[in-house]
A and B are shown apart, each in its own frame.
Chain A
């Protein structure tokens, strides 16, 4: 069987596309933010204007190239959100949960994700800009990134509630509680604008490092669990069946379609 006929025949092809896109997007995100632009871990808060000019100068090419990639491919993040919303719709709870989650994350993506990309690109674009203006962009970029955590927090709580009320066993209940852990760590970042230094500043041990450790674990877990949901999905309305034993570990373009 050819790849094309397999693709046409597999009813889950869109779901698998969305899942692989999710993996690709988060990988891109990590490479761009941590490697290319080095905006994560974040720069120190409350820098003087001259220090922010230095910060931009030290990362100029990385910022321009990295965020250019995000501007082109950033829309890919929609697949991750859509897949999660799909999994919530598959639950026995009201569709309102899925729609709220979708709306929340779509709204949050602009300030929580794109602002920093725009602000930092603008800063890198013209290094000769006045230091005060560079400082303004620096503050705007990082503050919008951390200050919008409250929105994601509510999203986690929506997903948690849906999972705990769900009778279709789409996700294991411990993952519902993991959403609570994630939401609680996001509480700590919102007031980061109060602190110039220390553990609760936007680059602080608690507000950033521990939070990212928890968030990273959480993201890895839900990417794995979304895969399980796709494998188990029967496109019905009732409880999700258990995964069939001995199933192929990966969707392979040349594997026989199992349905």
Chain B
């Protein structure tokens, strides 16, 4: 198990992970998403019956799987950053590819879920709940696509020792974590909240 010298992590203390500017984005965008959630919650309380009825079309197991996929992708990219910091770029790249794969898997699951809902007659305009559902999951999907670009930049950084920058790698990873973060909130608010 742990040795006597095993008291510290490789990450030096008191460092901002990645660029400070990216954390500004995380905070600001989180506030914007929170405002979207508040709008949803408010309108939900004004028309609970209709919202509940439309919400029953969602399948919880699928939502749970979606959440676990993204949580795992966050785990993978966090590990990738650790490996990069420890000077093991090859391992970091493998984990970054795992993250990309999980992101792609989530997108596929989302498309399947949307297709099923639309097939059952639940579209963007069929009900207020579905309007919020497709809007929130759609915005999240846009964030995810941008996240895949960020991961691509991260992988590109890892490929060449001359252009590798730990700060850029951590910045891209921080962005990816927001994709997971917002999904955690979306899942709770759309799938569970009654």
Contact = CB atoms under 8 A, between A and B. Distances in A.
Q: Do A and B come from one complex?
A: yes
A83 interface: no
Q: Which range holds the interface residue count of chain B? A: 20 to 34
B85 interface: no
B36 interface: yes
Nearest to B146: A180
The DSSP consensus for interface residues of chain A is: helix
A176 B22 CA distance: 9
A194 B124 CA distance: 9
Contact of B25 (A178, A194, A200): A178
B21 A172 contact: yes
Interface string A151-185: 00000000000000000000011111110110011
A172 to B, nearest CB: 7
Interface string A212-225: 00100000000000
Interface in B88-139: 124-125, 128, 131-132, 135, 139
B75 interface: no
A175 B24 CA distance: 9
The DSSP consensus for interface residues of chain B is: helix
Contacts of B135: 188, 199-200, 206
Given A198-B131, A214-B32, A181 B25 contact: yes
A187 B136 CA distance: 12
23 contacts: A173-B20, A173-B22, A174-B25, A177-B21, A177-B25, A180-B25, A181-B29, A184-B143, A187-B142, A188-B135, A194-B124, A198-B128, A199-B39, A199-B43, A200-B131, A200-B135, A205-B39, A206-B36, A206-B39, A206-B135, A210-B32, A210-B35, A210-B39
